[in-house]
Amino acid sequence: MRLEARKYLFDMQQAAEHIARFTAGRTFEDYAADPMLRSAVERQFEILGEALGKLRKLDPELAGRISDHRRIIAFRNVLIHGYDAILDEVVWGVVETQLPALRVTLAELLATD
């Protein structure tokens, strides 16, 4: 694996770990009521999606090993460009339902050469 590809995977893993740490022990109500938490989570999703977009340009096959990679990149684009249409329920839903599997995938990819 190219060093640059590994860097993007690492950046994605770090962003995912930050999101998990920020939201650990929190409820949707906590998330919805805390603008700093929402901003932090959204920022980490932006980083994750941006790194994945760069990985897809560098190594499409590797990016393709990440389930829903196109949707992750699209989610980043919504967060960046559609800031006025972001629904807290959608972001929280991604945290709860998609993030755990993504974290496992990233750890597996980084464990291989």
Determine contact, residues 51/12, Cβ cutoff 8 Å: yes
Residue 68 amino acid letter: D
Please tell me the distance from the alpha carbon of residue 14 to that of residue 51, in angstroms, as a whole number: 11
The tally of domains found in the chain comes to 1
Residue 17 predicted with pLDDT over 80 = yes
Band (pLDDT 50/70/90 cuts) for residue 113 is low
Please tell me the distance from the alpha carbon of residue 22 to that of residue 31, in angstroms, as a whole number: 10
* Across 11-40, average pLDDT: 98
Residue 83 predicted with pLDDT over 90 = no
Determine contact, residues 91/45, Cβ cutoff 8 Å: yes
Q: What is the DSSP string of 82-106?
A: -GGG--HHHHHHHHHHTHHHHHHHH
**Other C-beta atoms lying within 10 Å of the C-beta of residue 40:** 16
* Across 57-76, average pLDDT: 95
Print the SS3 string covering 40-65: HHHHHHHHHHHHHHHHHHHCHHHHHC
Share above pLDDT 90 across residues of the chain, in percent, rounded to a whole number: 95
Range of the domain at 13: 3-111
Please tell me the distance from the alpha carbon of residue 87 to that of residue 91, in angstroms, as a whole number: 7
The whole-model pTM stands at 0.94
